[in-house]
Structure 1
Amino acid sequence: MKLWGGRFTKPTNQLVDEYTASIRFDQKLATFDIQGSLAHVSMLAKCAIITNQEAELITDGLKKVATQIECGEAELTEANEDIHMNVEKLLIDQIGSVGGKLHTGRSRNDQVALDMRLYLRDALVTIATLLLELQQALVKQAEANLDTVLPGYTHLQRAQPVLFAHHMMAYVFMFQRDLERLTDSWKRVNRSPLGAGALAGTSFPIDRSFVADQLGFDAVSENSLDAVSDRDFVIEFLADASLVIMHLSRLSEELVQWSSAEFNFIELDDAFCTGSSMMPQKKNPDVPELVRGKTGRVFGHLMGMLTTLKGLPLAYNKDMQEDKEGMFDTVETLKGALALFAPMIETMNVHKDVMYQAVVKDYSNATDLADYLVGKDIPFREAHAIVGQTVLYSIEQSKYLLDLSLAEFKRFSKAIDEDIYDVLSAKAVVNARDVTGGTAKNRVEDQIKQARQFFEDHETWLQGKITLLKKLIVT
């Protein structure tokens, strides 16, 4: 007999059990389900809804169930549908019928919403920690390459030289926005739905704020219908995760390109590459390739969740069982990618000379020649045309701008003098971009200092949240 089967006259069809059961995947919520139940039982005793003796029995039983599950000794079955009913059945088996009082004043609808929020809080802390480690690895590469110049690209065509450190810092600030989004979402995740019941609240004199405080929530959800039907916090996480992995995918694409023989700008450490079963010379950048490939599944989970919720009437519907697998998979996908990326970036070998040769053997200093002419009181549009003709001549002569003689320069503008060779050097071109956010060395150093302050702020935030979550550990 199902724990809810009192009004039914026949057992559930086995195919229905198999199709509707969620224990296969929602067992990930076991720890959080028990955390929530311990707080709930404490509140029931405080409000004299159950006796202190009953609360002690249930509390001890729940802790034993938690140990059984953690040690793999508990049998979780599809017959009991989900993690909530499995835990309750294990509890009743452990302490007898008094275990049936655990569910007083709550529904699986508010219970699962609570479990999801507890799970996601834990995931946010883990992912934020990993993001911070990746940012720190990028900053280390930036600090080690403050004098390394590489071509900057637009349209995948060489555009202007930049410092490799500047390029690394671009990703630091991308991931900084990701970190800010994830940490900001905490305040929307961190609201307790418990006490909303199935949809309308409960007739028992419960204390929702007590439970919220026990579990470290900032507040309770204000409306019971919204509390059980809301999965905005899941969608927000999936959207934030999509941005994180999109940024990882962009960096992955560059690592794949840069490590090819055609670029040869970097070499990834052997520990983060694989070989070929046929071609013994191969060293494949499988980690960034796979991260790039897994981006689609994270995007898919976001679209799937949006589509699931778009037509649902209030309040809870069985469709909402689809909220879990996509979220679980996204968490694991993101954690796996981030855990690999930080050490892969930190151990990456940067080929400084190759990057420099790429810069001096192109025309990416052409803009500086135009700016030089503007400094000689020539209108920019006129200067642009002069430089375009100079570049065309250089291409026809199989030369680069710095290969031209002063006489050749003067064929296009009498305003050009000997100092042009200093102006067009790679170092001068980079350091000429001495504006806030620019690629000049001192400006990149400013960016690194700014990032270091970000790190301190987020480390403080993380330590506070880690301390909170540790208080809730059951076993």
Structure 2
Amino acid sequence: MRWHGVFRRFVLARHYRFAREALVPHFFDALTAYALELSRLGLPYAKEAVAALRELRTLPLPSFTGEVEDVFFSIQAQLAEHWGEEVAGAVRRGLSRNDLDLTVFRAYLRDRALALLADLLRLRQGVLRQAEGHRGVAVVLFTHHRPAQPSTLDHYLLGVESLLARDTERLFRALSTLNRSPLGASALAGAPYPLDRKRLALLLGFEGPVENTLDAVASGDYALELASALAGLGASLSRFLTDLLFWAGQGAFQVGEGLAQGSSFMPQKQNPVVLEHARIYAGRLLGGYHPLAFLNHNTPFTDLNDHSTGVLEPLAEMLFVAEAAVELTRAALEEGRFLPEGLLAEFSPEVLASEAVDLLARKGLPLPEAYRRVKGALPGLRPELLGVEREELLAWMDLEAFFARREVLGGVGPKARAEALKGAKKRLKAHREALAALRARVRLSRRWLQDLEPQEGQEGAEEEGQVKGQEHQE
């Protein structure tokens, strides 16, 4: 068939290149799992198709020539040429590109999301290392862009880590929706053979199938949930990076030499550009959600390219952008250093004004009057205007005393910070274990599906063992 040049350029060739670069292993996984299930049902040539697919996946797939429209038909052409039409046709029994493509897309996005989660956990580990290494280092924090109250750097970083932990949980929840298999749904009504769709899902390392067969090929919410979680991560990173940039400008944070750039005109400058580039990537994540929403908007609830092939490249780009934002932030944090004197550059008696109000209130002065008296003693919090002894005021306003009075859950008190650090480490460990379990499931499935030479009589036993093992994990 001679494809129109415009269609060939903007659709067929583009999609083929993307699939050839990113999706081929997932196509072979899905086709092999499907052939295994057909073989279990005793369909002719299905077992031969399994062996053929396992061998063919080790060979390079041809580039786009226009002879076939996509990677699936390219694989089919290779099977027919080298193993015969019967073998090529066997794997297509009851199979539609609708359920095959959506299975491949979900598997690809799942792997990318798992890799991003690993990057995010490493960033959180880096944040906790910095918190542990800067216990009790005083810092003036701002509200409404004005110096507000003192805190400690580890208290601040533990707050950032808590935010990133929730981003991690949002990604896990999005992954739970994404990590479901459409295979066996066929075009939309279900395959005409008694396939075990739960078994197919487990063979491919999914948590289970998308149960309704129309939903399996028509749903687009998996893409929306993932995009939303990525946008949330972008917002979190952007806020953290904005603070780091502010501190860099104040001489409170210095990025590593390999992450800074000098000026072409001003030799004295060493610019913290890694933070700026990381924030650019984080900002791009915020805009990534809308194309995914528009692709689902006003589309009928059936199989459509809008929410299948249409969402793949935007999501792949978002995952790349998220990886860049996370990794650049981690590198900046690991290679940079905080300068305590810069963190306290905005320290003055005024940032302890609320503490002076509390001192007067504790002495029995009505709170409104205490507030007015402290405000009248500014700037400088002059003791004679407050009506307290200078030594008493200095002792009360001591930073360590300020911190020690705040032993509430999550507060800046030393014990509270130690407990928070302990809890953050425990939470990070739990997230690592959850990620390891998901990755192990996928690795186990892939090892079985790629096995080129199962021993005689071992194929069914190994497959059964894998499925049972994964059911146990469930």
Q: Is the TM value for this pair above 0.5? A: yes
- Alpha-carbon distance in structure 2 between the residues aligned to 1:108 and 1:146: 56
Letter in structure 2 aligned against 1:209: K
d(CA) in 2 for partners of 1:417 and 1:277?
Answer: 52
**What pairs up with 1:78-227 in 2 under 5 angstroms?**
79-97=67-85, 98-227=87-216
* Residue of structure 1 in register with 2:248 after alignment: 259
Name which of 439, 443, 450 aligns with 1:470: 443
Does residue 1:290 correspond to 2:283, yes or no? no
Partner of 1:42 in structure 2? 36
| Comparing 280-289 and 101-110, the one that deviates more | 280-289
Which ranges of structure 1 fall in alignment gaps of 5 or more residues? Answer: 2-10, 395-399
- AA aligned to 1:246 is A
Match of 2:9 in 1: 18
Q: Is the 8 A contact 1:105 1:206 kept in 2?
A: no
* Matched position secondary structure for 1:80: coil
Look up the match of 1:248: 237
* Correspondent of 1:330 among 313, 318, 321: 318
Q: Which moved more, 1:162-171 or 1:318-327?
A: 318-327
RMSD of aligned alpha carbons: 2.0
Aligned CA distance change for structure 1 residues 194 and 390 (closer, same or farther; 3 Å): same
Say yes or no: does 1:318 pair with 2:305. Answer: yes
The one-letter amino acid paired with 1:414 is G
2:17 and 2:63 in contact (8 A); partners too:
no
Structure 1 pair 332/78, CA: closer, same or farther in 2 (3 Å)? farther
SS at structure 2 position matched to 1:419:
helix
8 Å Cα contact 1:249/1:288 also seen in 2: no
Question: 1:424 aligns to what?
Answer: 397
The residue that corresponds to 1:358 in the other structure is 346
Number of residues of Structure 1 aligned to a counterpart in Structure 2: 443
2:147 corresponds to which letter in structure 1? R
- Contact 1:174–1:247 (CA under 8 A) maintained in structure 2: yes
In the alignment, the residues of structure 2 paired with residue 229 and residue 169 of structure 1 have an alpha-carbon distance, to the nearest angstrom, of 41
The answer as to whether partners of 1:23 and 1:77 remain within 8 angstroms in 2 is: no
Alpha-carbon displacement from aligned partner over 1:55-81 (angstroms, at most 9, x marks no partner): 343233323332234xxx632445533
On the 8 A contact 2:241/2:329 being kept in 1, the answer is no
Alignment-mate amino acid for residue 286 of structure 1: V
Counterpart for residue 411 of structure 2: 438
How much does 1:357 deviate? 4.3
Letter in 1 for 2:267: P
CA offset at residue 380 of structure 1? 1.6
Partners of 2:39 and 2:47 within 8 A in 1: no
Q: Quick check: 2:128–2:157 contact (8 Å CA) kept in 1?
A: yes
Separation in structure 1 between the aligned mates of residue 293 and residue 70 of structure 2, nearest angstrom: 23
Deviation for aligned residue 1:301: 2.5
Match status 1:68 vs 2:59: yes
Cα distance in 1 for partners of 2:82, 2:209 equals: 32
Which residue in the other structure is 1:8 paired with? none
Partners of 2:68 and 2:266 lie apart in 1 by 52
Aligned 8 A contact 2:147 2:346 in 1: no
Give, in angstroms, the shift of residue 283 of structure 1: 1.9
Contact 2:232 2:286 in 1 (8 A): no
Alpha-carbon spacing, 1:284–1:103, altered in 2? closer, same or farther (3 Å): farther
User: 1:429-470 CA deviation, whole Å, 9 max, x = no partner?
Assistant: 233222111112221111100001112211211221221121
- The residue type paired with residue 44 of structure 1 is L
CA contact (8 A) 1:26 1:324 kept: no
Matched, 1:269 2:263: no
- Post-superposition CA distance 1:373-408 (Å, at most 9, x none): 1101112221111111111xx3xxxxx33xx4xxxx
Q: Deviations over 1:100-123 (max 9, x none)?
A: 332221111111111122112212
Name the counterpart of 1:450: 423
Single out whichever of 165-174 and 412-421 deviates more from structure 2: 412-421
Tell me which residue corresponds to 1:231.
220
Instruction: Give the superposition deviation at 1:157.
Output: 0.5
Whole-Å separation in 1 of the counterparts to 2:187 and 2:42: 22
Question: Do 2:62 and 2:74's aligned partners in 1 also have CA atoms closer than 8 Å?
Answer: no
Q: In structure 1, what is the Cα distance between the partners aligned to 2:82 and 2:244?
A: 54
CA contact (8 A) 1:151 1:161 kept: yes
Letter in 2 for 1:453: K
Instruction: Report the counterpart of residue 293 of structure 2 in structure 1.
Output: 306
Q: What's the counterpart of residue 31 of structure 1?
A: 25
The answer to whether the Cα contact below 8 Å between 1:163 and 1:441 also exists between their aligned partners in 2 is no
1:298 and 1:244 mapped to 2: Cα distance? 8
TM-score for the superposition, normalised by structure 2: 0.88
Shift of 1:336: 2.3
1:26-66 Cα distance to aligned partner (Å, 9 max, x none)? 331211111111100101111123x3xx3343233323332
Q: Which residue does the alignment assign to 2:463?
A: none
Q: Measure, in 1, the Cα distance between the counterparts of 2:245 and 2:81.
A: 55
Higher alpha-carbon deviation: 156-165 or 264-273:
264-273
Of 461-470 and 308-317, more deviation after overlay is shown by: 461-470
Residues 185 and 318 of structure 1, relative CA distance in 2, 3 Å threshold: closer
Deviates more, 1:87-96 or 1:138-147: 87-96
Residue-by-residue CA offset, 1:151-202 (whole Å, 9 max, x unaligned): 1110110000010111111110011001111123333222211111112112
> Residue type matched to 1:350 in 2?
F
Aligned equivalent of 1:397: none
2:215 counterpart letter in structure 1: D
Q: For residue 418 of structure 2, what is the amino acid of its counterpart?
A: E
Q: Please name the residue that 1:414 is paired with.
A: 387
TM-score by length of 1: 0.88
